[in-house]
Amino acid sequence: MKKVLIIAGFDPSGGAGVLLDTKVVRALGEFAVSTITCLTVQTTERVYDAKSIDPDFFEYQLQKVVEDIKPDSVKIGLLGSSEIAVVVLKNLKRYNLKNIVCDPVLKSTSGFEFCKSEFIEFLKYDFFKVCDVITPNKNEAEVIFDVEIKNFDEDVLSCIQERIKRMGIKSCILKGGHLDSELAEDILVTQTEIYRVSAKKKGLPDDIHGTGCAFSSAFATFIAKGYNMYDALKQTKDFMTGLINASVKIGKGRLILNP
């Protein structure tokens, strides 16, 4: 059995964060261990507030779990503060952790700003370099690469490829759930290749909660199983399409995924 380390926030409604991440890893037949960066007050309707865990206590949690259980891959979701991000970076290096998948959560789909501008600069110029892949959605990619994205045309993709090289980012999967398109297209951009997968879009872009969390956890799980990036992306896309088509309404707000 493969082990996936989740580093993410807690959403009490179960629609995003560690509760969803661990269910995804389990649904794909592997084992999740989780460390919590941040607590949120959140429902299927919106995020009301977020509070970081004390950085020293978080580090204690992370170090003890990785000293006990060596992960085959790592999924990083909501970090929530520069202090927590600094601790994560230090320990990714200290324990020489491999197969790092980072979902750069900056803002919730409902509009809650999880982070400040200096945190974004730290991610862009220090943190992303140690990750094997980052998985921004349209809005996150616009902030990270400082480019306006209407669609994933050749000009946008070559601009992003040039920027990942300049920033020292190994690779990036651009998630297309929020593009105005009939297709939900996701694109793996490495320093040398561009590889696309797509599926028919269900409903409106903001109808479903937690798609980005589930995507990065599934991708990290397929990488832990030993798939290369291209095959892991194909498998993740198929898995996500199934989950999205079976999404359920459990509260007053958006649909959620129930792996």
Ligand X SMILES: Nc1ncnc2c1ncn2[C@@H]1O[C@H](COP(=O)(O)OP(=O)(O)O)[C@@H](O)[C@H]1O
Ligand Y SMILES: Cc1ncc(COP(=O)(O)O)c(N)n1
Interface contacts to ligand X, rule CB under 6 A: 109, 137, 175-178, 184, 186, 199, 201-203, 205, 208, 211-212, 215, 237, 240, 244
Closest-approach residue to ligand X (CB): 212
* Closer residue to ligand X, CB minimum distance, 100 or 141: 141
Distance separating alpha carbons of residues 84 and 53, to the nearest angstrom: 8
Regarding 74 and contact with ligand Y (CB under 6 A), the answer is: no
Q: Which does 75 bind (CB under 5 to 8 A by kind): ligand X, ligand Y, none?
A: none
Residue 5 vs 16, nearer CB to ligand X? 16
Residue 177 contact among ligand Y, ligand X, none, beta carbon within 5 to 8 Å by kind: ligand X
213 lies in the site for ligand Y, by CB under 6 A? yes
Complete DSSP assignment for 113-138: B---HHHHHHIIIIIGGG-SEE--BH
Q: Which does 9 bind (CB under 5 to 8 A by kind): ligand X, ligand Y, none?
A: ligand Y
DSSP alpha helix (H) spans, the chain: 17-27, 55-68, 82-94, 117-122, 138-145, 154-167, 211-224, 229-245
Read off φ and ψ for residue 44, nearest 5 degrees.
Answer: -70, -10
Confirm or reject binding of residue 47 to ligand Y (CB under 6 A). Answer: yes
Dist. CA 194–CA 191, nearest whole Å = 9
Given candidates 22, 34, 35, 40, which one binds ligand Y under the rule CB under 6 A?
40
For residue 137, the minimal CB distance to ligand X (Å) is 3
Tokens matching residue 134: 């980052």
- Residue among 212, 214, 215, 222 that touches ligand Y (CB under 6 A): 212
Give every strand in the sheet of 194-200, ordered side by side: 47-52, 31-42, 3-10, 73-76, 100-102, 133-134, 171-175, 183-190, 194-200
Nearer residue to ligand X within complex by CB, 73 or 211:
211
7 binds ligand Y (CB under 6 A): no
Nearest Cα neighbor of 91 from 71, 119, 118 is 71
Q: Phi and psi (nearest 5°) for 5?
A: -90, 125
Binds ligand Y by CB under 6 A, chosen from 24, 53, 76, 78: 78
106 is a contact residue toward ligand Y (CB under 6 A): no
Give whichever of 141 and 161 is closer to ligand Y, judged by the CB atom: 141
d(CA 78, CA 9): 5
User: Tokens standing for 48?
Assistant: 């009301």
Of 45 and 231, CB closest to ligand Y: 45
Q: Which is nearer to ligand X, 52 or 135 (CB)?
A: 135
Q: How many CA atoms lie within 13 A of 113 on its CB side?
A: 6
Residue 47 near which of ligand Y, ligand X, none (CB within 5-8 Å, type-dependent): ligand Y
| Closest to 105 measured CA to CA, from 189, 213, 180, 250 | 213
**Chain contacts with ligand Y (rule: CB under 6 A):** 9-11, 16-17, 40, 42, 47, 77-78, 105, 108-110, 209-210, 212-213
